[in-house]
Amino acid sequence: MRRDSEPADYVVCRHCRRKFRAIRALHLIRRHGYDAEHPVADYKRRFGLESASCREVRQRLREIREEFRTRQGPHWTRRILIAEIRRLFRSVPPKREAVRTREAGRRLFGSWEAAVRAAGFHYEEATGIRHWTAERIVRIIRERAAAGKPLHSTAVKRQFPALHRAAIRHFPSSWAKALRAAGFDPRDHRMTSCRWDQTSAESWMRQQVAKRRSILARDDPVDLQDFVRRKLGANWSGFVESLGIPYPDVKK
Ligand SMILES: [Zn+2]
């Protein structure tokens, strides 16, 4: 039978001449006594047919197969997946991955998280993290420290607000508590901590005296006074006097 002479929307049963969208197994078994095993295949073989369906049905089947392949996505390799993750995360705003993409990550890298890291992203930052736990917060704080990123509250709040929010929720209710849980002394991670230590505080004070500048609390840097009070546990005049400098008791 020549293909192009076939009507598009039906085929004719070679046994009974009835028209169908497709010659189906049930019809062949019931009407024509076919074996239940492979009736359609037997029918096609018997009449030398490539198909037992009309053109429309065949077209629809092709579409369904095509759709299925599309849903399956590309044939994933590690390289293709990494490229896809970068495309998603670098688009503005970042796009969420499809379920099949996550599955490819699990298959090729052991987990989606591992795949994201393999693509060069900090997982928690890149995904805006959905599942915070105390352990995870502690780990990220340590990662920041190892990477030389600032740990003081202000910087974290600015650079990684989700981490700061989660930390305060999991370590009610201060960033300092989260730092302590990660094994850091919050006093070492203030905005001013890099500026002052005992040596620099003392030498600053001696220079003030040498240059005959004011050493009154009201004139001196607030962050230094803060350092003295918190880190050295001294009030300002006590600190000045501990250096052998008489603190002026007369207001200038
Ligand atoms: Zn028939």
pLDDT at 1: 46
Residue 83 CB neighbours (<10 A): 13
For residue 198, give every residue at least 6 positions away whose Cβ sits within 8 Å of its Cβ, in sequence order, or none. Answer: 231, 232
Going from the Cα of 30 to the center of ligand 1, the distance in angstroms, rounded, reads 9
120: helix, strand or coil? coil
Going from the Cα of 61 to the center of ligand 1, the distance in angstroms, rounded, reads 22
Going from the Cα of 68 to the center of ligand 1, the distance in angstroms, rounded, reads 32
Which portions of the chain are predicted below pLDDT 70?
A: 1-6, 68-73, 129-130, 191-195, 218-223, 249-252
Going from the Cα of 40 to the center of ligand 1, the distance in angstroms, rounded, reads 12
Are 152 and 190 in contact, with CB atoms under 8 Å apart?
A: yes
Going from the Cα of 16 to the center of ligand 1, the distance in angstroms, rounded, reads 4
Going from the Cα of 22 to the center of ligand 1, the distance in angstroms, rounded, reads 11
Going from the Cα of 62 to the center of ligand 1, the distance in angstroms, rounded, reads 25
pLDDT at 222: 65
Going from the Cα of 4 to the center of ligand 1, the distance in angstroms, rounded, reads 22
Going from the Cα of 21 to the center of ligand 1, the distance in angstroms, rounded, reads 12
pLDDT at 47: 94
Going from the Cα of 64 to the center of ligand 1, the distance in angstroms, rounded, reads 27
Going from the Cα of 8 to the center of ligand 1, the distance in angstroms, rounded, reads 19
Distances (CA, A) of 228 to 67, 187, 220, 244: 70, 12, 12, 16
Residue 125 CB neighbours (<10 A): 14
Going from the Cα of 12 to the center of ligand 1, the distance in angstroms, rounded, reads 8
pLDDT at 141: 92
Going from the Cα of 15 to the center of ligand 1, the distance in angstroms, rounded, reads 5
pLDDT at 252: 40
12: helix, strand or coil? strand
| Bridge partners, residue 20, by sequence | 11
pTM of the entire structure? 0.37
Pairing of strands 19-20, 11-12: antiparallel
Going from the Cα of 32 to the center of ligand 1, the distance in angstroms, rounded, reads 7
- In the structure encoding, which two tokens stand for residue 229, read together? 């009070």
In the block, tokens 């030498």 appear at 203
Going from the Cα of 60 to the center of ligand 1, the distance in angstroms, rounded, reads 23
Amino acid at 105: G
Going from the Cα of 52 to the center of ligand 1, the distance in angstroms, rounded, reads 11
Rounded to whole angstroms, the Cα distance separating 45 from 48 reads 5
pLDDT tens, 56-104? 999 888 888 777 666 666 788 899 899 999 988 887 777 888 888 899 9
